[in-house]
Amino acid sequence: MLSVSLFDFDLPDELIARYPAEHRDGSRMLVIDRKSGEFEIRPFTALPEYLSAGDALLCNDALVRRARMFGRKDGREDGAKFEILLLAPDTDGRWNVMLKPGKRALPGTRVVLLDTDGNLNSAGDFFTVVAKNADNSYKIEFSDPQIEYFEKRYGHMPLPPYLNRKAEPMDNERYQTVYAKVPGAVAAPTAGLHFTPEILERIRSKGVEQAALTLRVGAGTFLPVKADYAEEHEMHSEHYELAQSAADLVNSTHANGKKVLAVGTTTVRTLESCARPDGIVVPGEGDTRIFLYPPCQIRSVDMLLTNFHLPKSTLLMLICCFCDREKVLAAYRYAVEQKMRFYSYGDCMLLK
């Protein structure tokens, strides 16, 4: 049994990056040699230096939907205020959502939506609570089935709870990668937030091929591990798509003795969900609950770019499959000493 306490570390609250760097590519990057454990801090713009012709870069092109909405019961100014987070559509056109306060969300409750300025909308758009699901999420029905309309008029970017602030207009751009394309995520694949078109072009010009896959990051990515042991933790399910062309790129890169760089843990989880025991990656689409923790071995990826993760989180455990736990935690302690910025809008780490 693997104790979750082995993945704890002290993080001062002031190191949590509540806003992005002034420039997308302006973050610092802690580079760690996963064999020796040696590390150094470089600017993110140095990333192309660690790649060579024939290597491959894989990223997650999931597009974050404006999934958070607010409303008031019965459209009254003094009515109970509700907040929802879109999770996934149901087959009948209704939506599964996280909803609070749940104790007030009785079936039949009608909630009129607030616009992005916090005012009751003049069009009378609303949703109705249909039922509570077994997993404590809720099923709701919007007054119009066009969810894109509701997202545009009433949706807010679903910032992680640890940022402890409301979404602002700039988050609509900055909490989205420049290559985001496939809608459906309720959290950003944050390692990709550092890239600019110019950085991607510099990497491409070195002869590094690039491909995208999709993992629609779910709200469960923010859930803390409450179990004492990793084996007792139940992972959330997320939908993935890996095209034939992306799988072929991974396999041919390895066949040629070159390296695959995964941008983010979501990319690793997708590739590992599609990897055979011999490391060959096969294309596919489905739902994954894969949980990677030591002593699991990562078979599909050689290098990893990732942000800094929460103590005792499943993502930190994944990193420790890629590099020994002691080396990772030593690097994290150094990052804290050097006052690097943590979490979604923070600095990043390259494991090579």
Question: Can you count the helices (H) and strands (E) in the chain?
Answer: 7, 17
Strands in 90-181 per DSSP E: 95-100, 110-113, 126-132, 138-142
Q: What contacts 165, CB < 8 A, 6 or more positions away?
A: 18, 159
Average pLDDT in the chain = 95
Q: Quick one: pLDDT band at residue 293, thresholds 50, 70, 90?
A: very high
Q: Which CATH class is domain 68-156?
A: mainly beta
Q: Quick one: pLDDT band at residue 102, thresholds 50, 70, 90?
A: confident
Interval 160-168 mean pLDDT: 91
Of 105-119, 214-228, 246-260, minimum mean pLDDT range: 214-228
What's the pLDDT at 91? 83
Q: Residue 222 above 70 pLDDT? A: no
CATH number of 4-64+172-351: 3.40.1780.10
Q: Residue 195 above 70 pLDDT? A: yes
Residue spans of the domains in the chain: they are: 4-64+172-351, 68-156
Interval 183-208 mean pLDDT: 96
Dist. CA 264–CA 192, nearest whole Å: 7
The pLDDT tens digits of the residues spanning 64-94 come to: 999 999 999 999 999 999 999 999 898 888 9
